Structure 1
Amino acid sequence: MKKKLILAAAGLFSVFALAACSGGSKEIATMKGATITVDDFYNQVKSSQQSQQDVRNMIIFKVFEEKYGKDVSDKEVQKKYDEAKQNAKDQGANLEEQLKQAGYTEKSYKQLIKQNLAYQAGIKAHIKITDEDLKAAWETFHPEVEAQVIQVATEDEAKDIKKQLDDGGDFAKIAKEKSTDTTTKDDGGKVKFDSQSTTVPDQVKEAAFKLKDGAISEPIQTTDATTYQSAYYVVKMVKNKSKGNDMAPYKKELKKIAETNKENDQEFVQKVTSDVLTEANVKIKDDAFKDILAGLIQTEDSSKSSESSTKETSSKEKDSKSSDSSKTEESSSKTEDSSK
């Protein structure tokens, strides 16, 4: 996954950095009777959907970095870089080689990490949690539980394990022998999770939260969202805990959940992005990219259009009210005449 993310970002700067270097007339290739210059290349690729998206991202990242980059520490950047390095290692790959293939150095890749973190910092800076947000988080919240899990590849295996457990089998022993979950099997399947944890699939959490202490679930089917492969779980609840009716003891957790919900709310994220870009007074100088921020920043033309539309609507409403008033007066007059 990390490799894909790195390679997906590879074209972000290269094309436009090339277009800027040594003027647009720099030759890329020559042949009998013709040449290909940086200008030729730039004019060829600038209208592509990928190039449009790249420039849009460059603008957004640059604006957020200028405003919120100071909130990102070198330590945070290094941590993300180390995570990427470990992720590559876990997949049997080498981060340095991946970066080289994608046209990055360690320094330029860390710069990209910093821009991403600055963007996240900008979104977080606009989050204001309300009581309604906390109540929404409370609806799906469940406190941390202690459980044991056994993961296997087929439903038949899961059913067989469930039967062994129902017949008095030792959960921890069976987990060590049969479970394919390498993170829990050596400890007898022991695991802790709450409603926001990602250590176990959602289907497992949903089933586990319904179990009483000591109860064992029926086989639970899960599907990996990336590989689409199915797996089956058997869960034993060790210590469940009801959240009760009082939010106060969990306010810290609820606030974190509410913040995450905001960060995942695309409408909220777009509104923040729009506000920050508008405040930065972004001006598109190349007509090839004139529409890349459409819907994100309110231009002078769109403001005039909006204002004109508002005035037109207001005018129509006045005319409508005037017409209604005339009709009312006319009706009233006819009623009086009829009365006479």
Structure 2
Amino acid sequence: MKKIILSCAALLLAVTIAGCSTDKTVATTTSGKITQEQLYNELKTQYGTTTLQTMLLNNVLEDQYGDKVSKKDTTAELDKLKAIYGDSFDATLKQSNITLDALKTNIRTTLLKKAAVSANAKFTDADYKRAFEIWTPKMTAQHILVADEATAKDLITKINAGEDFAKLAKENSTDTTTKNDGGKLPEFDYTSSLGTDFAAAAVKLKDGEVSPTPIQSQSGYHIVKMTKNPGKGKWEDRKKELKEILVTEITSDNTKLLPYLAQVVKKANVQIKEDDLKDAMAPFTQPAATSSSSAPKAKDSSKATSDTATSSSDSAAATSSSAK
């Protein structure tokens, strides 16, 4: 994220400089002076290709799919991140050297990429069934979190013997946020910071049931008592949610995403007038095979060769995943 912000700022500065008189002096020292032309050429050499690629890609995505992504959509995604980080949200942005406006821009770019994939991807029943293994409905439950499996098993034995779950949570849970409320968790599903493995194990429990064995996550070992589980139902009835999983999977993977971005770039008929920057869109225009079964069949599909192709979405994804 920091690299992209710096490179964008650098190129914008370079463009501004290029529009001015090239003999104007920017700085002087005892050893000589630096002109605007020298500064522009240096900025273009260091940041020009990657920044132009980012700017052009954002422009063509906005042109072709901008009407598919509203301000409300961007705000909703931003609110999810704020919910994950809570009071530490602003501090996290500052520590990451990311402005709120930059984060909003990156979120919107990610949503535009998702819109492009969603409009062009063709998913099979096998794809939907695979996504269904990950997907869970929103559930509510209580949990007790402990550091080791032996302690978790001992607590399960006590619960099965009739001891009060809420009381044991207050006395033993290491989750300081929920322990004093009997271990009550906020509503969660497969996308929550608890992790997909946690959700996959929890969804097997019926209302009122306690997990027969501890559920392991990055935080430790959980004992879960299900409060409300609406059930997964049939995959055929969940295609909208499952498509979101599949689209996100593609958007998060450079190799899978590039064929879709290549179609967007091809449709835009991008023409780069400056020879020094002519290869900026090469990752999207050089033909390469793709192994993605749902990828569009386009001759101009290309393999991921540039980190900047998906840098806008990576920052938002990294921000979210680091909260787990």
Provide the TM-score with structure 2 as the length reference. 0.67
Instruction: Tell me the CA shift for residue 270 of structure 1.
Output: 1.1
Measured in 2, the distance between the counterparts of 1:283 and 1:173 equals 68
Match of 2:272 in 1: 284
Match of 2:39 in 1: 41
Match of 1:68 in 2: 65
Measured in 1, the distance between the counterparts of 2:133 and 2:82 equals 38
Cα distance, 1:16–1:193 mapped onto 2, change above 3 Å: closer
| Cα distance per residue 1:176-195 (max 9 Å; x no partner) | 3432335544543345555x
More off after superposition, 161-170 vs 73-82: 73-82
Match of 2:293 in 1: none
Cα distance, 1:25–1:159 mapped onto 2, change above 3 Å: farther
Instruction: Tell me the CA shift for residue 36 of structure 1.
Output: 1.9
Match of 2:163 in 1: 169
Measured in 2, the distance between the counterparts of 1:202 and 1:174 equals 25
2:182 pairs with 172, 188, 192, which one?
188
Measured in 2, the distance between the counterparts of 1:113 and 1:243 equals 29
More off after superposition, 27-36 vs 153-162: 153-162
RMSD over equivalenced CA pairs, Å: 4.0
1:151 pairs with 145, 149, 154, which one?
145
| Cα distance per residue 1:315-335 (max 9 Å; x no partner) | xxxxxxxxxxxxxxxxxxxxx
Ranked by relative contact order (alpha carbons within 8 Å, sequence separation 6 or more), the top structure is 2
Which residue identity lines up with residue 235 of structure 1 in the other structure? V
1:135 pairs with 98, 119, 129, which one?
129
Match of 1:235 in 2: 224
Contact 2:11 2:51 in 1 (8 A): no
Instruction: Tell me the CA shift for residue 160 of structure 1.
Output: 4.5
Cα distance, 1:46–1:86 mapped onto 2, change above 3 Å: farther
Contact 2:14 2:44 in 1 (8 A): no
Match of 1:303 in 2: none
Stretches of structure 1 lacking an aligned partner (at least 5 in a row): 224-229, 300-305, 307-340
1:18 pairs with 6, 13, 26, which one?
13
Match of 1:118 in 2: 112
Match of 1:220 in 2: 215
Measured in 2, the distance between the counterparts of 1:243 and 1:110 equals 33
| Cα distance per residue 1:64-83 (max 9 Å; x no partner) | 12222233333444555666
The answer on 1:30 being equivalent to 2:19 is: no
Stretches of structure 2 lacking an aligned partner (at least 5 in a row): 288-298, 300-324
**Aligned partner of residue 61 in structure 1, secondary structure:** helix
| Cα distance per residue 1:131-165 (max 9 Å; x no partner) | 44333334555556554321133445434533432
Match of 2:292 in 1: none
| Cα distance per residue 1:210-259 (max 9 Å; x no partner) | 55763433333322xxxxxx522122345667757x54444444444444
Cα distance, 1:51–1:177 mapped onto 2, change above 3 Å: farther
Decide which structure has the larger Cα Rg and report it.
1
**Aligned partner of residue 279 in structure 2, secondary structure:** coil
**Aligned partner of residue 285 in structure 2, secondary structure:** coil
Match of 2:257 in 1: 269
Match of 1:53 in 2: 50
Instruction: Tell me the CA shift for residue 114 of structure 1.
Output: 4.2
Contact 2:194 2:217 in 1 (8 A): no
Instruction: Tell me the CA shift for residue 276 of structure 1.
Output: 0.7
Contact 1:152 1:232 in 2 (8 A): yes
Instruction: Tell me the CA shift for residue 266 of structure 1.
Output: 4.2
Match of 1:297 in 2: 285
Provide the TM-score with structure 1 as the length reference. 0.64
Cα distance, 1:22–1:189 mapped onto 2, change above 3 Å: same
Identity of aligned residues (%): 36
**Aligned partner of residue 283 in structure 2, secondary structure:** coil
Which residue identity lines up with residue 262 of structure 2 in the other structure? S
Instruction: Tell me the CA shift for residue 274 of structure 1.
Output: 0.2
Cα distance, 1:52–1:158 mapped onto 2, change above 3 Å: farther
**Aligned partner of residue 161 in structure 1, secondary structure:** helix
Contact 2:144 2:223 in 1 (8 A): yes
